[in-house]
Amino acid sequence: MAAQTLFEKIWNSHVVHEAPGEPALLYIDLHLIHEVTSPQAFEGLALDGRKVRRPERTFATLDHNVPTTDRSLPITDPDSKLQIDMMRKNCRDFGVRLFDLGEVEQGIVHVIGPELGLSQPGMTIVCGDSHTATHGAMGALAFGIGTSEVEHVLATQCLWQARPKTMEIRVDGKLGLGVTAKDIILGIIGRITTDGGTGYVIEYRGSAIEALSMEERMTVCNMSIEGGARAGMIAADRKTVDYLRGRRYLPSGAQFDRLAAQWLTYRTDEGAKFDRSIAFDAAAIAPQVTWGTNPGMVTEVTSKVPDPSSYADATSRRAVELALEYMGLAPGTPITDVKVDRVFIGSCTNARVSDLQAAAAIVKGRRVAATVHAMVVPGSQLVKNEAEKLGLDRVFKEAGFEWREAGCSMCLGMNPDILKPGERCASTSNRNFEGRQGKGGRTHLVSPIMAAAAAVAGHFVDVRDWASR
Amino acid sequence: MIKPLKNFTGLVAPLDRPNVDTDQIIPKQFLKAVVRSGLAKGLFYDWRNQPDSQFVLNQPRFEKATILVARANFGCGSSREHAVWALADFGFKAVIAPSFADIFKNNCLKNGILTIILKPAETDAIFEAIKVHQDYRLAVDLPAQKVTDEFGWSAHFEIDPFPKRCLLEGLDDIALTLMQDEKIKAHESNHPVPYKF
């Protein structure tokens, strides 16, 4: 048997039907849904008199629209309320398990999948959301789909997919103190740019990747889409098995051990070939800060806002000019001079327990600057509960952060958490597009510890100077 | 359910920015829609609604455009299919660009909007032609995979045979898939659900 990559093993074992000149028909092991990209899909099913083929492989949550404040109160925004009510009705009518507000399993869809044991190695996983790539950290082939495809998966449990190319991204060596998984992926996107991965599935490999915890691997895989790749994966290993053991939806004992043995077969073989390979040195990665209006417009915290005239081609120059105009930044400004108005620690990229622990360690005994409004939004109810057991909420609140309920929150202002025009935010989320966090809002993407340090200092700082304290 | 895509000639509007993301095409407040229709009002909302906006679609000469020409990596970012619904609701039938983001391209093809990939020099030529000619139009011929203008310029585009057939015949994805129901059942009987409920 020829040497196969992780991607090929998963792809080949899920093709249900294929013919020359056609995309493959892939079986989908797990379909995750949320309230924003599903209403039209369920409507389509109902209009055609179709059922959900596999309700037992379909799980829903409420995350994008939900307020992160007191959830015993009624939802005030009528459009949000409508989508939430529709999700509840659709799940009831079609027999799909919904993790509703008030349930301990509720949270951001890409946080709850792994933590409930739903997302497993070797699976194909889809969701109507581009950050579905997150589940690739479990050693799965996971990618985002549009609402029409959501309808298709609901009806058939399958998806037509043209076979992508494979890209190996190796990160070897040791990450410096104060440098995180978030900086790895921002550094990668800075190099390959926002379309460098288009048409590819990325596998992240190398000693620095293997050294990452499961939650750190999720951060890396999460932002694969920002580099243009639909999916990003990290092969399962003992850490993956240990992470999954005892999780809510997994069996235990001999049954678990049998599953675990299968999971560990999903690894790239010695000698397998990728269509493209890129290598990074972990030790050379510094804390990253985005300065522009896409995640590829990023630099090291020790660097400066770029000068448009340093870009060779006219289209890039103009794009940088427009970005700097939107962001209200002058060329040549040191990143550490950039002041922030708001700090958001949250999102499917960086709102897990280890992210909150790292940020809490930075702010413990310190205070949020008087000029900053800072908040922490745990990625799920389970994350919130564990963080509270560890006393992290007290650390954040004593430092002057707001401590919220779980949801997508300020990553994209679809709920009450939104930037005002011109407000500048240090955010642990994944997108800094114009208006993403609120019309006219200015987003800078950073790691949790960089966001925490910026909250205290009132401007960006090189957290490596703090991390050793 | 999509209507079969017939050959057509359309007015071309230029969007001269690379990496146009789907947050720009349709901002988040329009994702609260629960139907696919009526999203034209959200199309490029922030760019169209700035004070003194010179945005292309605000200019009367482009109001009836049915073809958009854009730069590289059009439609990147969020998977929101609402971006495509908004373009369709406005009246667009095709988008021309040197490259598209994957999810956006798939979403277009599922909604009968043709994504036409041309070489950068060819899209440059279209941008230039629009500067020169007041009502620049292109004729789109999907069977021949060609776009042609009335001045003798034309360009060939590639498209995979399967999406091409689906567009030309207005094929329903789900019905196509359910023709493979026996194979799906066979796969399912060999792969039990790995969850404990």
Question: How far apart, in whole angstroms, are the C-alpha atoms of residue B116 and residue B97?
Answer: 6
Nearest chain A residue to B120 by CA distance is A315
Q: What angle do CA B177, B180, B181 make, to 5 degrees?
A: 100
Quick: pLDDT tens for A306-315. Answer: 999 999 989 8
CB distance B23–A83 less than 8 Å?
A: no
A25 neighbourhood in chain B, CB within 8 Å? 177, 180, 183
Question: How far apart, in whole angstroms, are the C-alpha atoms of residue A140 and residue A137?
Answer: 7
Average pLDDT over residues A329-355: 98
Is pLDDT of B52 > 90?
Answer: no
Q: Is A389 on the interface with B (CB under 8 A)?
A: no
Confidence bin at B1 (pLDDT 50/70/90)? low
CB A300 within 8 A of CB A287: yes
Q: What angle do CA B189, B190, B195 make, to 5 degrees?
A: 85
Q: Which of B28, B34, B99 sits opposite A195 (nearest CB)?
A: B99
CB distance A412–B162 less than 8 Å?
A: no
Q: Is B84 on the interface with A (CB under 8 A)?
A: yes
Task: Return the structure tokens found at A179.
Answer: 């440098």
Is pLDDT of A469 > 70?
Answer: no
Question: How far apart, in whole angstroms, are the C-alpha atoms of residue A189 and residue B77?
Answer: 13
Quick: pLDDT tens for B99-108. Answer: 999 999 999 9
Amino acid at A278: I
CB A150 within 8 A of CB A44: no
- Predicted ipTM? 0.92
Question: How far apart, in whole angstroms, are the C-alpha atoms of residue B43 and residue B26?
Answer: 5
B77 neighbourhood in chain A, CB within 8 Å? 130, 225-226, 294, 431, 433
User: How distant is the Cα of B102 from the closest Cα of chain A, in angstroms?
Assistant: 7
Question: How far apart, in whole angstroms, are the C-alpha atoms of residue A328 and residue A404?
Answer: 29
Predicted local confidence at residue A468, as pLDDT: 57
Is pLDDT of A338 > 60?
Answer: yes
Confidence bin at A467 (pLDDT 50/70/90)? low
Q: Is B54 on the interface with A (CB under 8 A)?
A: no
User: How distant is the Cα of B16 from the closest Cα of chain A, in angstroms?
Assistant: 9
Predicted local confidence at residue B51, as pLDDT: 86
The DSSP H or E segment spanning A144 is strand A141-144
Question: How far apart, in whole angstroms, are the C-alpha atoms of residue A146 and residue B160?
Answer: 19
The string of DSSP codes covering B120-155 is HHHHHHHHHHHHH-TT-EEEEETTTTEEE-TTS-EE
User: How distant is the Cα of A368 from the closest Cα of chain B, in angstroms?
Assistant: 29
B187 neighbourhood in chain A, CB within 8 Å? 16, 27
A318 neighbourhood in chain B, CB within 8 Å? 17
Predicted local confidence at residue A447, as pLDDT: 98
Q: Is A160 on the interface with B (CB under 8 A)?
A: yes
Confidence bin at A77 (pLDDT 50/70/90)? confident
CB distance B35–A436 less than 8 Å?
A: no
Average pLDDT over residues A80-98: 95
Q: Which of B23, B160, B161 sits opposite A436 (nearest CB)?
A: B23
B21 neighbourhood in chain A, CB within 8 Å? 294, 431, 433
Average pLDDT over residues A134-141: 98
Is pLDDT of A461 > 60?
Answer: yes
Task: Return the structure tokens found at A237.
Answer: 């290993």
Nearest chain A residue to B103 by CA distance is A145
B110 neighbourhood in chain A, CB within 8 Å? 146, 148-149
Q: Is A448 on the interface with B (CB under 8 A)?
A: no
Q: What is the pTM of this model?
A: 0.94
CB distance A157–B106 less than 8 Å?
A: no
Where is average pLDDT lowest: A62-76, A417-431, B35-49, B177-191?
A: A62-76
Nearest chain B residue to A35 by CA distance is B32
CA-to-CA dists, residue B145 to A21, B72, B156, B157, B160, angstroms? 17, 20, 6, 5, 11
CB distance A148–B173 less than 8 Å?
A: yes
CB distance A36–B99 less than 8 Å?
A: no
